[in-house]
């Protein structure tokens, strides 16, 4: 073959740089001391991240598939005691934002409902410049040091020989990497939970992941963890439901966000912070700089400080959602970094990515990235330059109109950025702090905090994923890691994938983290009300029109989205001979696109319709609320619901058969709970 001369052999021996220099350590960045900042002198890290950032064009290497919207943030109170950040100073003053949600692994053409981490990135257009809070829907990550980020992404991406699988982690290379990197164990517990398949972006938490630092006007620092909590509560899909949704509507999450905003049902989140005085940096049984660890809310409560509302859709997906550029190093006065080695590497990598993806250094001039405050720089030229710059481009100068000046020398004016001052010293070394060495305690805490049904879903997810791994050594090694989390979990996963049950090793004394953190369970994260919940009302000729109308009107008054579904489009005739408009034919939708089902009297005839029976059977299997009235019992029975009266999550009227206000209040309460997994 003509290409054979260009095929590289499998490498043998020690890794080298592109210049052929042997590398001594591929797992750790060059730090100033074990817990100090990452050094620019680390040419190996810069080469590795640069090559990784530039390996694909034009879509993002990660977070390629996403959806975005505009809105505003307003604080509840002033946080001037802790930070001089402009957007956290004045209660009620609104700061414009743009938010982009995304999946991590798959390309732009992949489905929304895959099992994956979700990005939750927020750009604040503050009066002192743009601030980007670039987070995820999980509070921890797979790795501790940015030097491992290219390795992690290469492992989770589709495998090189066949570009399979798309938007999925159930394959050998991902689990090989994780089994060899036990620091990923805590994050794996989150990804194997239902958190990895959210019901919608609007019902998804967000986290800043890293420990950041707030700085007040006097220069005093406070460690901070950022949390976004959805007003609608946290809701997720189950695995079977997510797979069916991907087939029925691969744009399910994009469409949900767009249609909610377009209809005026603006999604809202509350910003919360965990504030930790700097003198308490070493007060925890884990390292605050370790991005594979969270701070349990039982140790540091989350303090609500403001709300964010998304109220405007983009007008052009490419110009706005696709070209928006987020960067962890886009900070403003009052917010600064810590020496978290993953964050330090992100601060290099994100800018480097944008230089390639958006064609050069002037991407900040694109409308969606442009600050609202005036920009004054000495930057000139470059690809994508949109401005005709006057004057000189060096500093200091006294000709050509002069140049912008810096604000140093004495106390700085409001809105001028000054780095937080801290003492750092130590040797330049590639070694991770011993305080990062515990990889299992918080993974175990997460597991023990789950409800029984959540533990079953996690167990099934591990079994599904590892069941797709062909290399038995990888499977056994991964199950061996799970023993350190919980012996029963490991034994059950091993049984389901046909591997021997590993022996539980005598573990070293674990740090004293809480055994259970109730705030981690989905059971504790419900919302109030049923606003925007999608309720499917099944109908056919002969349906009780008055009952259907009563249910539809009641649910609509609670701000639920109600859709009448029937065997065909157009209209059906109710038992009084009146026409009932049909929103969609059953053959063109599915129960996985709705949150609850109402079967009015008169729908018993649908027991002979396979689309209707499948619709109800899927809703029943996925634990969704179902209201059954009159002959709707016949359809429910055909779908496998033998006893509606005593089935969790199923509402039936009182013995007299009347659907009164108490009945509809009960239906509302069931929908509010979202799902009944015990079914």
- Could you read off the pLDDT of 559-582 as tens digits, one per residue? 999 999 999 999 999 999 999 999
Residue ranges of alpha helices (H) inside 289-384 are 341-357
Q: Tally Cβ neighbours within 10 Å of residue 99.
A: 27
* pLDDT in the model for residue 397: 75
* pLDDT in the model for residue 56: 63
Q: Is 511 exposed, middle or buried (0-12, 13-18, 19+ CB in 10 A)?
A: middle
91-104 pLDDT tens trace: 999 999 999 999 99
Q: Is the pLDDT of residue 535 over 70?
A: yes
- Which residues, 6+ apart, have CB-to-CB distance to 91 below 8 Å? 74, 75, 76, 77, 78
Annotated catalytic residue: which of 31, 128, 130, 136? 136
Is 280 a catalytic site residue? no
Which residues, listed in sequence order, are joined to residue 16 by a DSSP beta bridge?
22
Distance from the Cα of residue 52 to its chain's centroid = 22
Beta pairing class for 626-628 and 579-582: unpaired
Binding residues for heme: 60, 100, 149, 346, 350, 357
Question: Comparing 392 with 403, which gets the higher pLDDT?
Answer: 392
SS3 324: coil
Annotated catalytic residue: which of 28, 31, 63, 457? 63
Residue ranges of alpha helices (H) inside 10-167 are 43-53, 149-156
Closest CA to 332 of 72, 75, 131: 131
Q: What is the DSSP letter of 577?
A: S
Question: Comparing 492 with 404, which gets the higher pLDDT?
Answer: 492
Structure tokens at 103: 């999946």
* pLDDT in the model for residue 631: 95
192-251 pLDDT tens trace: 999 999 999 999 999 999 999 999 999 999 999 999 999 999 999 999 999 999 999 999
- Please tell me the distance from the alpha carbon of residue 469 to that of residue 173, in angstroms, as a whole number: 8
Q: What is the DSSP letter of 76?
A: S
- Please tell me the distance from the alpha carbon of residue 58 to that of residue 40, in angstroms, as a whole number: 27
Q: Is the pLDDT of residue 539 over 70?
A: yes
Closest CA to 236 of 227, 245, 247: 245
Percent of the residues in the chain that have a pLDDT greater than 70, as a whole number: 95
Residue reference for tokens 């042997």: 22
- Which residues, 6+ apart, have CB-to-CB distance to 636 below 8 Å? 599, 616, 620, 626, 628, 644, 650
Q: What is the DSSP letter of 422?
A: -
* pLDDT in the model for residue 466: 98
* pLDDT in the model for residue 2: 59
Element (H, E) at 31: strand 31-32
Element (H, E) at 222: strand 221-230
Beta pairing class for 129-136 and 118-126: antiparallel
**pTM of the predicted protein model:** 0.91
Q: Is the pLDDT of residue 359 over 60?
A: yes
Q: Is the pLDDT of residue 410 over 90?
A: no
User: Which domains does the chain possess?
Assistant: 66-143+194-369 (2.40.180.10), 534-672 (3.40.50.880)
Percent of the residues in the chain that have a pLDDT greater than 90, as a whole number: 76
Q: What is the DSSP letter of 164?
A: B
Q: Is the pLDDT of residue 5 over 90?
A: no
281-322 pLDDT tens trace: 999 999 999 999 999 999 999 999 999 999 999 999 988 999
Q: Is the pLDDT of residue 57 over 70?
A: no
Q: Is the pLDDT of residue 409 over 60?
A: no
Q: Is the pLDDT of residue 401 over 90?
A: no
Band (44; pLDDT cuts 50, 70, 90)? confident
Is 419 a catalytic site residue? no
Band (407; pLDDT cuts 50, 70, 90)? low
Query: Contact at 8 Å (CB) between 515 and 448?
Result: yes
Q: Is the pLDDT of residue 506 over 80?
A: no
- Please tell me the distance from the alpha carbon of residue 463 to that of residue 475, in angstroms, as a whole number: 10
Closest CA to 628 of 661, 663, 595, 662: 663
Binding residues: 60, 100, 149, 346, 350, 357
Angle at CA 177, nearest 5°, toward 172 and 178?
100
* pLDDT in the model for residue 509: 61
* Residues 530, 612, 644, 199, CA torsion sign: negative
* pLDDT in the model for residue 55: 73
Structure tokens at 249: 């509507």
């Amino acid at each position: 073959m003509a290409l054979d001369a260009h095929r590289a052999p499998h490498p043998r021996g020690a890794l080298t740089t592109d210049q052929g220099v042997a590398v001594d350590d591929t797992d750790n960045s060059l730090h100033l001391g074990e817990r100090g900042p990452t050094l620019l002198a680390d040419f190996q890290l810069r080469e590795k991240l640069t090559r990784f950032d530039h390996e694909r064009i034009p879509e993002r290497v990660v977070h390629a598939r996403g959806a975005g919207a505009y809105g505003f943030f307003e604080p509840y109170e002033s946080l001037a005691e802790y930070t001089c950040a402009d957007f956290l100073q004045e209660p009620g003053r609104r700061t414009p934002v743009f938010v982009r949600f995304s999946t991590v692994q798959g390309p732009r053409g992949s489905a929304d409902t895959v099992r994956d981490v979700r990005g939750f990135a927020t750009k604040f257009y503050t009066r002192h410049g743009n601030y980007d809070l670039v987070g995820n829907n999980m509070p921890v990550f797979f790795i501790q040091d940015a030097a491992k980020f290219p390795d992690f992404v290469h492992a989770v991406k589709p495998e090189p020989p066949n570009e399979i699988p798309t938007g999925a982690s159930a394959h050998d290379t991902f689990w090989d990497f994780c089994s060899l990197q036990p620091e990923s164990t805590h994050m794996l517990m989150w990804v194997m939970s239902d958190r990895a398949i959210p019901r919608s972006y609007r019902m998804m938490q967000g986290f800043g992941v890293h420990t950041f630092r707030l700085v007040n006007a006097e220069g005093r620092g406070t460690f901070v963890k950022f949390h976004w909590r959805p007003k609608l509560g946290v809701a997720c899909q189950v695995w079977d439901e997510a797979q069916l949704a991907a087939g029925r509507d691969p744009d399910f999450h994009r469409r949900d966000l767009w249609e909610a905003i377009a209809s005026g049902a603006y999604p809202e989140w509350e910003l919360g912070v965990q504030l930790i005085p700097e003198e308490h940096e070493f007060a925890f049984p884990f390292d605050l700089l370790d991005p594979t660890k969270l701070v349990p809310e039982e140790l540091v409560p989350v303090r609500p400080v403001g709300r964010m509302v998304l109220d405007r859709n983009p007008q052009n997906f490419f110009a706005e959602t696709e070209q928006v550029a987020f960067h962890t190093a886009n900070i403003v006065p009052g917010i600064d970094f810590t020496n978290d080695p993953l964050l330090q590497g992100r601060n290099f990598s994100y800018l480097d990515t944008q230089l390639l993806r958006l064609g050069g250094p002037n991407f900040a001039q694109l409308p969606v990235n442009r600050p609202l405050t005036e920009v004054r720089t000495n930057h000139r030229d470059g690809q994508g330059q949109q401005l005709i710059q006057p004057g000189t481009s060096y500093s200091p100068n006294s000709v050509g109109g002069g140049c912008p000046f810096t604000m140093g020398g004495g106390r700085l004016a409001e809105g001028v950025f000054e780095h937080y001052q801290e003492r750092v010293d130590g040797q330049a070394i590639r070694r991770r702090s011993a305080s990062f060495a515990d990889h299992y305690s918080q993974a175990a805490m997460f597991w023990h905090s789950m409800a029984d049904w959540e533990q079953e879903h996690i167990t099934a997810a591990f079994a599904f994923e590892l069941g797709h791994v062909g290399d038995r050594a990888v499977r056994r090694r991964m199950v061996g890691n799970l023993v350190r989390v919980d012996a029963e979990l490991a034994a059950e996963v091993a049984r389901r994938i046909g591997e021997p049950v590993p022996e539980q090793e005598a573990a070293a004394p674990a740090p004293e983290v809480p055994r259970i953190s109730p705030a981690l369970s989905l059971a504790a994260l419900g919302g109030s009300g049923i606003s925007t919940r999608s309720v499917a009302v099944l109908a056919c000729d002969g349906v009780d029109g008055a009952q259907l109308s009563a249910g539809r009107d009641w649910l609509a008054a609670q701000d639920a989205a109600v859709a009448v579904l029937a065997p065909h489009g157009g209209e059906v005739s109710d038992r009084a001979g009146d026409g009932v408009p049909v929103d969609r034919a059953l053959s063109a939708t599915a129960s996985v696109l709705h949150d609850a089902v109402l079967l009015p009297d008169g729908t018993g005839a649908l027991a002979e319709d396979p689309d209707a029976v499948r619709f109800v059977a899927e809703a029943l299997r996925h634990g969704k609320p179902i209201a059954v009235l009159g002959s709707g019992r016949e359809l429910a029975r055909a779908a496998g619901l033998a006893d509606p009266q005593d089935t969790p999550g199923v509402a039936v009227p009182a013995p007299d058969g009347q659907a009164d206000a108490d009945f509809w209040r009960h239906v509302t309460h069931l929908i509010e709970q979202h799902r009944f997994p015990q079914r």
